Amino acid sequence: MNTKTQVGIIGAGPSGLLLSHLLHLENIDSVILEARDRQYVEERVRAGVLEQGTVDLLCETGLGERLQREGIVHHGIELRFDGHGHRIALSDLSGGRSIWIYGQQEVVKDIIDTRLAAGGKIHFEADNVNLSGIDSTQPALTYRKDNQDHAVTCDFIAGCDGFHGVSRDSIPAGVLRTYHHVYPFGWLGILAAVEPSTEELIYAYHERGFALHSLRSPEISRLYIQVDPDEDISNWPDDRIWEELSLRLATEDDWTLKTGPVLEKGITPMRSFVVEPMQYGRLYLAGDAAHIVPATGAKGLNLAVHDVHKLAEALIAWYREGSDKLLEQYSDRCLGRVWRVQDFSSFMSLMLHRFSEDDGFKGRLQRAQLKYVCSSEAAARSLAENYVGLPHYGKYT
Ligand code: APR
Ligand code: PHB
């Protein structure tokens, strides 16, 4: 079957879904093609920290109802090392901004519900998605669904298909410059049915490796430990994970880690990745299709939201005013923030993880850094303003 739309979107992650919603608010038609089924997309456990700016955008565009009811506002985080915790007062140090705890898959569910209720077109289980004519004014997407071939002709294509998607690879060789750094560790993450042992997130530096205590709700905890990047999850029965978490999060006072049934577990590699530019012809890349940040800064989702906000503004200007200025500037308007966030995520990662070679010098530098951030207001303020999200960073000047 052949159909037409204004913007063809590949991927129903946060990037593709939010883009489709923002365009819809301006009566711009889009079609989303998603390789997976709806349940998979809605249940995939990812990060859960939303910057103030992300929350503001979701609320201003009608996506904040459940977020405001169920999201948990946090005004600080804890850095824990050498058996002691040190609070970084995020809101006090950043002019009153804060972060919200709300799982990425909850954001995804909210946008899917809203799009479908408004008649939005999301084609799940679309196989063999292929892009053509991206350097023409009529690019097209083809795909296979329910044993039938389909084609969608578009004005523009948004590649929102994540790190492993097809859109980036459909750009001719030689156009993109790729920056890639793989960290020598991964994170083993668990979701557990247990009341969090902390009110605020704890980032722990420990000689056995990094640990993070996060949460999702008063009944659900989310925790991570640093492991080798090629670690086999079968080496980590639940008891061993809890034991390791208890060791790495231990303090000199009587703090104890509450344990409970593990609902989900998995290992994620840590990498930094950026392509420049984030566009070619009529194809625009957004979110993980264009960049990945290590999870230590809690920025992946927030960066994706920033991209699609800029892309929606640019497409709206093209349809409303016939101006291609913002489309031409799309990549530049995004990359300023992308690199700021890469730097912050790298800073957090290098400060908090154990490196195999760090038997001396590196470990001393990490401790010096941690002590500085926990004792100097200037250093803490820098961490805080980055963590809650720099409000206007990346604006085109
Ligand atoms: N065809 C159609 N859909 C595809 C294809 C393909 N060939 N390849 C991938 N997809 C889909 C994936 O199944 C996924 O649902 O694209 C979607 C991409 O979603 P995400 O990976 O969540 O990426 P994005 O929307 O950019 O969100 C970025 O996700 O990975 C986290 O930490 C990251 O929070 C950040 C956020
Ligand atoms: C999470 O809650 O999943 C989380 C929190 C903070 C991070 C990364 C992930 O830095």
**CB count in 10 Å sphere of residue 211:** 25
Q: What is the distance between the alpha carbons of residues 366 and 209, in angstroms, rounded to a whole number?
A: 12
When pLDDT is averaged across residues 123-137 and rounded to a whole number, the result is 98
Is the pLDDT reported for residue 397 higher than 50? no
Q: What is the distance between the alpha carbons of residues 260 and 268, in angstroms, rounded to a whole number?
A: 22
Instruction: Tell me whether the CATH fold assigned to 2-48+103-176+277-354 matches the one assigned to 180-270.
Output: no
Could you identify the atom of ligand 2 that is nearest to the CA of residue 298? Answer: 10
Residue 357: pLDDT band with limits 50, 70, 90: low
| Ligand 2: lining residues by beta carbon, under 6 Å | 47-49, 201, 212, 214, 222, 295-296, 298
Residue 396: pLDDT band with limits 50, 70, 90: very low
Q: Which ligand is nearest to the CA of 74?
A: 2
Q: Which ligand is nearest to the CA of 78?
A: 2
**Ligand 1 centre and the CA of 87: distance in Å?**
34
Give me the residues paired with residue 86 across strands: 79
CATH 3.30.9.10 assigned to 180-270: yes
Ligand 2, atom 2: closest residue by C-alpha: 48
Give me the residues paired with residue 226 across strands: 187
What pLDDT does 291 receive? 98
Could you identify the atom of ligand 2 that is nearest to the CA of residue 296? Answer: 10
Ligand 2, atom 6: closest residue by C-alpha: 298
Architecture, CATH, for domain 2-48+103-176+277-354: 3-Layer(bba) Sandwich (3.50)
Is the pLDDT reported for residue 394 higher than 60? no
Is the pLDDT reported for residue 332 higher than 60? yes
Burial of 29 (0-12, 13-18, 19+ CB in 10 A): middle
**Ligand 1 centre and the CA of 291: distance in Å?**
12
Could you identify the atom of ligand 1 that is nearest to the CA of residue 33? Answer: 2
Quick one: what percent of the chain has pLDDT higher than 70? 98
**Ligand 1 centre and the CA of 331: distance in Å?**
19
**Ligand 1 centre and the CA of 160: distance in Å?**
6
Q: Which ligand is nearest to the CA of 32?
A: 1
User: Which strands make up the sheet holding 49-51, listed edge to edge?
Assistant: 49-51, 99-101, 72-74
What pLDDT does 257 receive? 98
Quick one: what percent of the chain has pLDDT higher than 90? 94
Q: How do strand 156-159 and strand 7-10 relate by DSSP bridges?
A: parallel
What pLDDT does 69 receive? 97
What pLDDT does 393 receive? 60
What is the domain partition of the chain in residue ranges?
Answer: 2-48+103-176+277-354, 180-270
The tens digit of pLDDT for each residue in 90-121 reads 999 999 999 999 999 999 999 999 999 999 99
Q: Are the CB atoms for 286 and 333 separated by under 8 Å?
A: no
Ligand 2, atom 9: closest residue by C-alpha: 47
Instruction: Using most ligand atoms within 8 A of CB, pick from 45, 201, 387 the residue to mutate for ligand 2.
Output: 201
What pLDDT does 145 receive? 97
What pLDDT does 391 receive? 80
Q: What is the distance between the alpha carbons of residues 70 and 76, in angstroms, rounded to a whole number?
A: 19
Angle at 166 between CA 162 and CA 170, to 5 degrees: 125
- Would you say how long the chain is, in residues? 397
Instruction: Using most ligand atoms within 8 A of CB, pick from 9, 34, 224, 292 the residue to mutate for ligand 1.
Output: 34
**Ligand 1 centre and the CA of 58: distance in Å?**
19
**Ligand 2 centre and the CA of 214: distance in Å?**
6
Q: Are the CB atoms for 83 and 252 separated by under 8 Å?
A: yes
When pLDDT is averaged across residues 262-290 and rounded to a whole number, the result is 97
When pLDDT is averaged across residues 259-287 and rounded to a whole number, the result is 97
51 lines ligand 1 (CB under 6 A): no
The tens digit of pLDDT for each residue in 178-197 reads 999 999 999 999 999 999 99
**Ligand 1 centre and the CA of 284: distance in Å?**
14
141 lines ligand 1 (CB under 6 A): no
- Show Cβ contacts of residue 273 under 8 Å, excluding neighbours closer than 6 positions: 163, 178, 179, 180, 181, 291, 292
Output the DSSP codes for 265-277: EEEEEEEEEEEES
Task: Name the least confident of 237-246, 313-322, 354-363.
Answer: 354-363
Mean pLDDT over the full length of the chain: 96
SS3 160: coil
Instruction: Using most ligand atoms within 8 A of CB, pick from 105, 214, 302 the residue to mutate for ligand 2.
Output: 214
Rounded to the nearest 10 degrees, how much is the dihedral formed by the CA atoms of 52, 55, 57, 62? Answer: -160
**Ligand 1 centre and the CA of 226: distance in Å?**
24
104 lines ligand 1 (CB under 6 A): yes
